[in-house]
Amino acid sequence: MTTHVLHRSLRHKLPTAVAVDGVRLIDGQGKSYIDASGGAAVSCLGHGHPDVIAAIHAQIDKIAYAHTSFFTTEVAEQLADKLVAGAPDGISHVYFVSGGSEAIEAALKMARQYFVEIGQPERRHFIARRQSYHGNTLGALAVGGNEWRRRQFAPLLIPVTHVSPCYEYRDRRADESAEQYGARLVQELAAAIDELGPQTVIAFVAETVGGATAGALTPVPGYLRGVRELCDRHGILLLLDEVMCGMGRTGTLHACEQDGVVPDLLTIAKGLGGGYQPIGAVLVQGKIVDAFERGSGLFQHGHTYIGHPTACAAALAVQQVIARDNLLDAVKRQGQGLQDRLQRKLGDHPHVGDLRGRGLFRGVELVADRASKQTFDPTHRLHARIKAQAMARGLMVYPMGGTIDGQHGDHVLLAPPFIVTDDDLDQIVDRLAAAIDAALAELPATR
Ligand code: PLP
């Protein structure tokens, strides 16, 4: 079949998704796939949830679209009320957008405008981390630390200083405790701030739990609190990106709750609407909104589809179902169940170096040798082979290469829907283990 869709890859043929059933998608041949990655950590309620679909239908019948420079809508107001009620301390407003990259772009501009409004226009630098992902638009790509994604576009990107990720498996020294390692990372950030000049830095940007680029990298205890204190000392904003790890994925509504840290700007997207509609948002601290109010009286930004009523209706329904059905408890319980199964099946595997993550957000890092943590030859594209072998077995997972530096390393990210059952988890882990072994068997003897 010829296609006129410019797909992500021009080399691979994709199956056609024709139907859905809870945690499963079905293709045109009738083959069923367990969605163990929620696409890319999106489908928190699985597929075809009747309550969300009913809410979308009702909203379309009422009012599908109204431009936000002319009107607000009840549904946008209700969703913002709900999000602020569940947000970290001091968050007073929500800026709606249509996805994660747009949320980051808006947050970067809010941070810059904040300092212009309060009379500190000399602040112009962002600091972010290597091995991060913040989206594919130019601003988001610039703060992102995925070398492979950035490389060919580098001449177009604003200069951003990147510091080390919090990557305990590879970077904590044997003579350090987790807390000491975290303190060392905070020192590195402090040095980067000093180098740029503290009065010139706008914000530090980080995923609370690293997602797509390095596979569920969790912050060590105390690290984010140290970052928060450092930012406060210099009047620098903390922008936490929870587009992937937020909205319940790690077992609390916001991942940063578990680190005892309150950001100035918090971006959310994927699990907000669960894939039923494109929606993202920036949760904003009151001091930033106050500065806009006292100053220019506006946030100088906007897109045609911000605050889209149908998208807001979907997100409101998703969030209501999560609360009504106690799904954050399910994430904690099933997340532990997933980790236990991974540990049992893969914990002693000669090519599994690390099993990490929080809640239903888990990473499996593959290594050629466990003792030395040597990675596989990147030309073998082990991650792509695992994805193909998993799809052949009716399993969707989210593998990536370049885990440690954009080139070397392979991992698999798992982010199943919050409604996943014990039986689903058994099948996910069995199929994943079989896919990993089949992919490894394809590699030449010298790896
Ligand atoms: N930020 C993070 C942490 C992400 O994981 C992603 C997407 O994977 C984005 C931003 C970009 O989101 P989107 O693909 O919706 O633009």
Tell whether 235 is covered by a domain: yes
CA distance 387 to 395: 9
Name the closest-CA residue to atom 13, ligand 1: 100
Question: Cα(133) to centroid of ligand 1, in Å?
Answer: 7
The answer to whether 337 and 420 have CB atoms below 8 angstroms apart is no
As given in the structure block, the two tokens for residue 259 are 């680190």
How far is the first Cα of the chain from the last one, in angstroms, to the nearest whole number?
A: 36
Asked if the model's pLDDT at residue 328 lies above 60, the reply is yes
| Number of structural domains the chain divides into | 2
Name the closest-CA residue to atom 12, ligand 1: 100
Residue 378's φ and ψ, nearest 5 degrees, are: -60, -25
Tell whether 8 is covered by a domain: no
Question: Cα(136) to centroid of ligand 1, in Å?
Answer: 8
What average pLDDT does this structure show over 65-76? 98
Q: Is the dihedral of CA 396, 205, 249, 52 positive or negative?
A: negative
CA distance 388 to 438: 10
Question: Cα(124) to centroid of ligand 1, in Å?
Answer: 23
Question: Cα(446) to centroid of ligand 1, in Å?
Answer: 36
The answer to whether 427 and 414 have CB atoms below 8 angstroms apart is no
Q: pLDDT digits over 370-413, tens only?
A: 999 999 999 999 999 999 999 999 999 999 999 999 999 999 99
| Residue 447: predicted pLDDT | 57
Mark whether 27 and 95 lie in a shared domain: no
Range of the domain at 41: 17-48+326-442
Nearest Cα neighbor of 380 from 411, 401, 352 is: 401
Mark whether 405 and 306 lie in a shared domain: no
Residues with CB under 6 A from ligand 1: 40, 99-101, 104, 133-135, 207, 211-212, 241, 243-244, 269
Mark whether 28 and 167 lie in a shared domain: no
CA distance 447 to 433: 19
Asked if the model's pLDDT at residue 1 lies above 90, the reply is no
SS3 state of residue 211: coil
Q: Which atom of ligand 1 is nearest to the CA of 244?
A: 5
The answer to whether 266 and 240 have CB atoms below 8 angstroms apart is yes
CA distance 392 to 442: 14
Question: Cα(444) to centroid of ligand 1, in Å?
Answer: 34
Tell whether 10 is covered by a domain: no
- Cα 338–Cα 340–Cα 344 angle in degrees, nearest 5: 115
| DSSP H helical ranges for 63-137 | 74-85, 100-117
Mark whether 338 and 420 lie in a shared domain: yes
Question: Cα(210) to centroid of ligand 1, in Å?
Answer: 11
Q: Which atom of ligand 1 is nearest to the CA of 269?
A: 15
The answer to whether 88 and 104 have CB atoms below 8 angstroms apart is no
As given in the structure block, the two tokens for residue 178 are 């987790």
What average pLDDT does this structure show over 77-88? 98
Tell whether 5 is covered by a domain: no
CA distances to 328, 342, 373, 425 from 335, in Å: 10, 11, 26, 10
The strand pairing partners of 250, in sequence order, are none
Do strands 395-396 and 361-366 pair parallel, antiparallel, or not at all (unpaired)? unpaired
Which of 270, 295, 324 terminates a domain? The answer is: 324
The CATH number of the domain holding residue 273 is 3.40.640.10
Which of 297, 324, 351 terminates a domain? The answer is: 324
Tell whether 12 is covered by a domain: no
pLDDT band at 335 (very low <50, low <70, confident <90, very high): very high
Asked if the model's pLDDT at residue 446 lies above 80, the reply is no
CA distance 298 to 69: 12
Tell whether 6 is covered by a domain: no
Residue 49's φ and ψ, nearest 5 degrees, are: -65, 120
Question: Cα(305) to centroid of ligand 1, in Å?
Answer: 18
pLDDT band at 36 (very low <50, low <70, confident <90, very high): very high
- Testing ligand 1's pocket by substitution, the residue of 43, 97, 134 carrying the most ligand atoms inside 8 A of its CB is 134
What average pLDDT does this structure show over 236-254? 98
Tell whether 258 is covered by a domain: yes
Q: Which atom of ligand 1 is nearest to the CA of 278?
A: 15
Asked if the model's pLDDT at residue 341 lies above 70, the reply is yes
pLDDT band at 420 (very low <50, low <70, confident <90, very high): very high
What average pLDDT does this structure show over 177-187? 98
Rounded percentage of the chain residues whose pLDDT exceeds 70? 99
| Residue matched to tokens 């990536």 | 400
Mark whether 308 and 333 lie in a shared domain: no
Name the closest-CA residue to atom 1, ligand 1: 134
pLDDT band at 33 (very low <50, low <70, confident <90, very high): very high
Mark whether 238 and 189 lie in a shared domain: yes
Q: pLDDT digits over 108-142, tens only?
A: 999 999 999 999 999 999 999 999 999 999 999 99
Mark whether 221 and 298 lie in a shared domain: yes
Asked if the model's pLDDT at residue 344 lies above 60, the reply is yes
The CATH number of the domain holding residue 397 is 3.90.1150.10
What average pLDDT does this structure show over 214-240? 98
Tell whether 1 is covered by a domain: no
CA distance 269 to 247: 8
Per-chain mean pLDDT for the chain: 97
Q: Which atom of ligand 1 is nearest to the CA of 101?
A: 16
Mark whether 386 and 303 lie in a shared domain: no
| Residue 105: predicted pLDDT | 98
Name the closest-CA residue to atom 10, ligand 1: 134
Which of 324, 352, 369 terminates a domain? The answer is: 324
Mark whether 42 and 151 lie in a shared domain: no
Mark whether 309 and 409 lie in a shared domain: no
Question: Cα(101) to centroid of ligand 1, in Å?
Answer: 6
* Chain centroid offset of residue 244 CA: 2
What average pLDDT does this structure show over 363-375? 98
Q: How many residues does the chain have?
A: 447
Q: Which atom of ligand 1 is nearest to the CA of 267?
A: 1
CA distance 443 to 378: 11
Mark whether 120 and 146 lie in a shared domain: yes
Do strands 395-396 and 32-35 pair parallel, antiparallel, or not at all (unpaired)? parallel
Mark whether 301 and 357 lie in a shared domain: no
Q: pLDDT digits over 291-327, tens only?
A: 999 999 999 999 999 999 999 999 999 999 999 999 9
pTM for the whole thing? 0.98
pLDDT band at 445 (very low <50, low <70, confident <90, very high): confident
| Residue matched to tokens 């699985």 | 46
Question: Cα(314) to centroid of ligand 1, in Å?
Answer: 19
